[in-house]
Amino acid sequence: MQLYGDLRILTARPSAADERRARHHLYGVADAAEAWSVGRWLRAAEAVIGDICGRGRVPIVVGGTGLYFRALTRGLADAPPIPQEARAGAAALWTAGGEAAVRAALGRGDPEGAARIERGDRQRLLRALEVLTATGRPLSAWQGATRPSLAPGRWRGVVLEPDRAALYARCDARLRAMVEAGAVEEARALLDRGLDPDLPAMKAVGVREFGRHLAGEASLDEALAAAQQATRNYAKRQLTWFRNQTPDWSRLASPDDPALSSLIGSYRRGA
C-alpha cells in the first residue's frame, strides 16, 4: 500500500526525516488509479536492488506483506496470459455466488490455493481460479517451477516480533496520530476521486472506516476504533504468516536490538 502516493498518512510512509537519513525506494510511486500487482512490484524491486548492489551498497527490503517477500525469495509463478473468457467466468461466478462459490470452485481443482488464500481476498481468489480455468493447472503448480530473484545464501531474513500487547498499543497510538496528522482528510481526497472500490489502494486500512465517518454513518471516535481494530487484526495476521512461512529467519523484539546491526555487518562481511 505504501506504493500509492495518495496514502502517505494512512500507510504510515517514512517521514521526510527518515528519508533524509537513508535513500528510500518505491514509496509513493504509483497513483491510486493504478492496480499494482506483486509481479509489477517484483520487477521494479529487482531493478532497484540491482542498482543498489551495483553501487556496492546493501539494500534493505522492509515491509509487512508476506506475499511480496515470498515472491522475492522464492519466485513468482510465471503463468501464461489469461483469456478474457476465463476472467469473465470467474467474475460472473463471484457476482452470482460471492466468495463462497469462487472458493468452492477453486477448491475442487486447487485445494492448496483455496486453503492458503485468506478470506476476503477477492483479487487473489479470482486470480487463482482464472489460472486454473485457463491452464488446467493450479497456480501452486506454476509457483513450484519458479526461480527466486534473490539467490539462496545471498541475503538475510529478519522478523520483528515485539511483545503482542506493546505492538497493539503502538498500533492504536499510531492511528490516533494519523487522525491528528490528517488521515480523515486524506481518505476524503481519495474517496472524492470516485475510483473503482476494487482497486488495491481503496482497500487500505482506514479508507473504508473513515469513509463511513465522512458519509455520516459513524462518529469519528467510532471510525477511529474500527480502524484501530482493523490494524490490530492485520498485525496479528502478519505475525501468524511470518511465524508459519519464515521459521528459519532471525527474530528480534525491536529494531533497536543490537543484533540487527550485527546481522547487517555479517552480511557486509559475507559471513
Residue type, 152: P
Contact 64, 2 (CB under 8 A): no
- How far is Cα 271 from Cα 151, in angstroms, rounded to an integer? 15
pTM of the model: 0.76
Instruction: List all residues 6 or more positions away from 199 whose beta carbon is below 8 Å from its beta carbon.
Output: 32, 33, 34, 35
Q: Is 250 helix (H, G, I), strand (E, B) or coil?
A: strand
pLDDT, tens digit, 9 for 90 and up, residues 12-55: 999 989 999 999 999 999 999 999 988 899 999 999 999 999 99
Q: Is 252 helix (H, G, I), strand (E, B) or coil?
A: strand
Quickly state the pLDDT bin for 267 (edges 50, 70, 90).
Answer: low
pLDDT, tens digit, 9 for 90 and up, residues 152-172: 888 989 999 999 999 999 999
Report the percent of the chain where pLDDT is more than 90: 69
Mean pLDDT of the chain: 91
Give the pLDDT score at 82: 86
With both helix axes pointing from N to C terminus, report the angle between 220-245 and 66-74 in degrees, rounded to the nearest 10. Answer: 30
Of residues 151 and 269, the one with the higher pLDDT is 151
Q: Residue 103 corresponds to which cell in the numbers above?
A: 472458493
Q: Is 251 helix (H, G, I), strand (E, B) or coil?
A: strand
Instruction: List all residues 6 or more positions away from 49 whose beta carbon is below 8 Å from its beta carbon.
Output: 59, 61, 149, 150
Give the pLDDT score at 143: 67
Quickly state the pLDDT bin for 145 (edges 50, 70, 90).
Answer: low
CA angle 251, 256, 259 (to 5 degrees): 50
Give the pLDDT score at 260: 77
Of residues 60 and 146, the one with the higher pLDDT is 60
DSSP 181-229: HTHHHHHHHHHTT---TTSGGGGSTTHHHHHHHHTTSS-HHHHHHHHHH
Quickly state the pLDDT bin for 118 (edges 50, 70, 90).
Answer: confident
Give the pLDDT score at 144: 66
Quickly state the pLDDT bin for 74 (edges 50, 70, 90).
Answer: confident
Mean pLDDT of 184-191: 98
Report the first-to-last Cα separation within the chain, whole angstroms.
34
Of residues 113 and 221, the one with the higher pLDDT is 221
Instruction: List all residues 6 or more positions away from 145 whose beta carbon is below 8 Å from its beta carbon.
Output: 77, 78
In the chain, what are the domains? 84-143 (1.10.20.140), 161-268 (1.10.287.890)
- How far is Cα 149 from Cα 38, in angstroms, rounded to an integer? 13
CA angle 90, 203, 223 (to 5 degrees): 135
**Is residue 259 scored above 90 in pLDDT?**
no
